[in-house]
Amino acid sequence: MNFIIDTADQTLTLQDGHVLGIYSKEAFELISQLWLATSWNQKYSYTFTWLGRPIIQHPEDTLRLQEVIYSLKPDVIIETGVAHGGSLVFSASLLKAMEKSGRVIGVDIEIRPHNRAAIEAHELAEMITLVEGNSVAPEIVNRVAECIAPGNVVLVILDSDHSYAHVTAELEAYQRFVPIGSFMVATDGIMRDVAHVPRGKTEWVQDNPAQAAEDFAKRNPQFVVETPAWRFNESALSLPITAWPSAWLKRVK
């Protein structure tokens, strides 16, 4: 959508001529979507660490994930995609703060030696299990299964290869670990919204995790795409500023 911002008049004018107050809820939502695309293109999410390790997530998604983890109190958090390990440390720190004797399992096709060394030297390393290999290979999924005890509440976060085909394969492979009320999270569906920006790719319009999650839910009625409700809100706002659209697949039966 095209619009013109006039800070002197404090207005935002839409392409059809409709005028919004620049400080209105509607203007905030439009400006936020533009900011989100611009921030993605500028690699804004690459500027944060969690307890010393790069986390590579937008702040709102990190805080919303924290809300879910605190509410759900999982025994096991599975994360595909390790990178620098910041997300693993983030999840482990929350389990530790909740005094959970839980485990975070990080799966990646390649865990670079310097990242492995840093993760294994971290104060929370004892809560983290690293599994190297293709996240959808049967032997790797079986190794993950060995870390899960009967009755464990499991949360699955998919953040590795973001292609439609790979995310679909991950959803099919890891759904068996998710109990009713918990989630699989197909991160970075923002790809379809930034296909047009300089760092984007045109094929992302269809080849993205959000599309994979939506199609998975259509085939598997035991899951629904359901963004968790905000735990606190004293504003008129209702839409998240997220790089994870259609990410949250909740098991309902």
**C-beta separation of 202 from 244 below 8 A:** no
Q: Can you give the pLDDT at residue 166?
A: 98
Mean pLDDT by 10 residues, the chain (253 residues): 94 97 98 97 98 97 98 98 98 95 96 98 98 98 97 98 98 98 98 97 98 98 97 97 98 97
Does residue 86 contact residue 53 with C-beta atoms inside 8 Å?
Answer: yes
CA atoms within 13 A on the CB side of 18: 7
**What does pTM read for this prediction?**
0.96
Domains of the chain: 1-42 (no CATH), 49-251 (3.40.50.150)
91: which residues sit within 8 A by CB, 6+ positions away? 69, 77, 79, 104, 157
Q: How much is the pLDDT for 100? A: 83
Query: What integer pLDDT is reported at residue 101 of this predicted model?
Result: 87
